[in-house]
Amino acid sequence: MNLSASDDTRRDAEASRERISRIRVRSAPVTIKRLAPASMGRAAAKARNCLRFMFLYNTGMPVSRRAFLMSLAGAAMPGQSAPVRNVLFISTDDLNNCLSAYGHDVVRTPNIDRIARNGVRFDRAYCQFPLCSPSRVSIMTGYAPDTTKIYDLKTHFRTTIPNAVTLGQLFQKNNVFAARVGKIYHYGNPGDIGTDGLDDPPTWNQRFNPKGVDKTEEDRLTNFTPNRGIGSAVAYYASPAKDAEHTDGMVADQIIRLMEQHRHERFFLGCGFYKPHVPWIAPSKYFDQVPLERVKLIPFEEWEMTIAPQWAYFTRPAHWGMSERQRLEAMRAYYATILFLDAQVGRVLDALERLKLQDNTAVVFWSDHGYQLGEHGQWMKQTVFEPAARSPLIIAGAGVKARGKGCPRTVEFLDIYPTLADLCGLKGAPKDLHGVSLRPLLDNPNAGWDRPAVSQVRRGGKQIVMGHSLRTERYRYTMWNAGREGEELYDYSADPRELKQLAKEPSAQPLKQQLRARLEKIIKARGWKDEAVKVDTSADDDD
């Protein structure tokens, strides 16, 4: 194991090794062949436990054989919870909750379902900002966008918070090997495939940037929105190439190699898949698995785009003018790339089991944000409507007591960082992280929980408008430029499609003020100042 103790602990261990080559505990002999840092346990504390037991024995105090052996192995004593050894951190790009694990009846994802059966599926998990870079930076730093100041796709967070200790850095500080393959931080997709993009080298010991045939097949796309950049165009291609020739197939291959190479040491592996981000390129067999007649359009009427303030909408005109047939084909292509993604997830899970790592590895499955397929006439992300702000989050495997359970509590992606620090027993996590550990919900998904989620999005152009949105288990309240540019209020218990705007209803004013006060308190604590936001407004597309 790639672990080290303090210098003092090492010296004590060396001295003990010289004095003791064979000891007897309760008349049972235990031979110590080697007591070096690599075999002293998971951390310096475990090595100190070993020395403590040696001391007790030499002073004649009783020590059980089992307790002594557990100290050597770095195991937790009864009543203690052993830290999780490894983390497989599976990221996806632009994935919404169209998964069979979340009840979708067309998109069957048996491998993502495997993760859900082995852990907790969060049914109300929300990103901080429904755009790739701001969301991913918040996940990896533990800070909200109003602290990171990342609102676009071009600014690197080291220019705004240079001393941030990222999640990968924290693992490294705890002597855990950290590596990533593919997209964990933002990459223009597909423009930056094969490059480092906006990656953060200090986060990783190693990083890999695969590039598959999907990067060379872009000229074969069927494109329903040719005036948009390819990274935000509704475009697809059913490729004749095999899974392993595509970028995400290569991501899976490299992650499997890393697990094989580092299976004897602690690891934090970022498995960054690029799908189902546009352009929707996947092997043709996955398109064949989604018959067009099974795809159903999401209901929409033009008046829906008048419900909320103008800033609430990203797609104008509705559906970017696509016909119903084009929308059906687009949805089919999106579903097909999810099936392709699921197959690659399955290959990684198979390797985890083949290497017998599943019992000491936590698996975290997430997407940077949701994705709209026509709700409110909107496509893609960049709104705080439910389909864009809500995203899949599943935490499974080692350290998770509840298995195969859904959690109805409202959680944020800011909670991922402190949760992993807690599960893995990591020392030195920043004290000012904006999220909290979800461990109580991993033990009991229905435990009491009163923490809303906050998402935000900004609109650029001649006028910069920031929208902040607070989501509780029942309500969503959104204010644009502190309410000066409009407000929204929805009650999901009666209106799951967000079609009845309550912000101006007289009877809803006390509730609105209560939610607004709560939202203002949270965003101020997270760095928001009601002033002009300077951002690169040219950076809205992912290419």
Tens-digit pLDDT profile for residues 363-393: 999 999 999 999 999 999 999 999 999 999 9
What domain range includes position 482?
453-525
String of DSSP letters for 288-299: HTS-GGG--PPP
Does 413 lie in the same domain as 373?
yes
Does 66 lie in the same domain as 117?
no
- The answer to the question of residue 370 being in a domain is yes
CATH code of the domain in which 311 resides: 3.40.720.10
Helix (H) or strand (E) holding 515: helix 509-525
- The answer to the question of residue 540 being in a domain is no
How confident is residue 542, by pLDDT bands cut at 50, 70 and 90? low
CATH code of the domain in which 518 resides: 3.30.1120
- The answer to the question of residue 122 being in a domain is yes
Q: Which strands, in side-by-side order, build the sheet including 235-239?
A: 222-223, 235-239, 280-283
Does 457 lie in the same domain as 437?
no
pTM score, two decimals?
0.85
Does 232 lie in the same domain as 317?
yes
When comparing pLDDT for 73 and 268, which is higher? 268
Does 266 lie in the same domain as 194?
yes
Does 331 lie in the same domain as 394?
yes
Does 218 lie in the same domain as 120?
yes
Measure the CA–CA gap between 50 and 538, rounded to whole angstroms.
Answer: 59
Q: Provide the 10 A C-beta neighbour count for residue 173.
A: 14
Pair 452, 469: CB distance under 8 Å: no
Residue range 136-177, pLDDT digits in tens = 999 999 999 999 999 999 999 999 999 999 999 999 999 999
Does 394 lie in the same domain as 248?
yes
- The answer to the question of residue 535 being in a domain is no
Last residue of a domain, one of 408, 443, 478: 443
Does 161 lie in the same domain as 39?
no
Number of domains forming the structure of the chain: 3
- The answer to the question of residue 79 being in a domain is no
- The answer to the question of residue 408 being in a domain is yes
Measure the CA–CA gap between 189 and 278, rounded to whole angstroms.
Answer: 8
Last residue of a domain, one of 443, 472, 506: 443
pLDDT in the model for residue 540: 55
- The answer to the question of residue 78 being in a domain is no
Q: Which strands, in side-by-side order, build the sheet including 453-459?
A: 453-459, 465-471, 475-480, 487-491
Does 146 lie in the same domain as 45?
no
- The answer to the question of residue 423 being in a domain is yes
Residue range 113-132, pLDDT digits in tens = 999 999 999 999 999 999 99
Last residue of a domain, one of 397, 423, 443: 443
How confident is residue 462, by pLDDT bands cut at 50, 70 and 90? confident
pLDDT at residue 526 tops 50: yes
Does 422 lie in the same domain as 495?
no
Buried b (16+ CB within 10 A) or exposed e, 472-484: beebbbbbbbeee
Pair 542, 231: CB distance under 8 Å: yes
Axis-axis angle for helices 110-117, 324-354 (nearest 10): 50
Residue range 50-104, pLDDT digits in tens = 444 444 444 344 444 434 443 443 444 444 566 889 999 999 999 999 999 999 9
Residue-averaged pLDDT of the chain: 88
Does 67 lie in the same domain as 96?
no
pLDDT at residue 21 tops 80: no
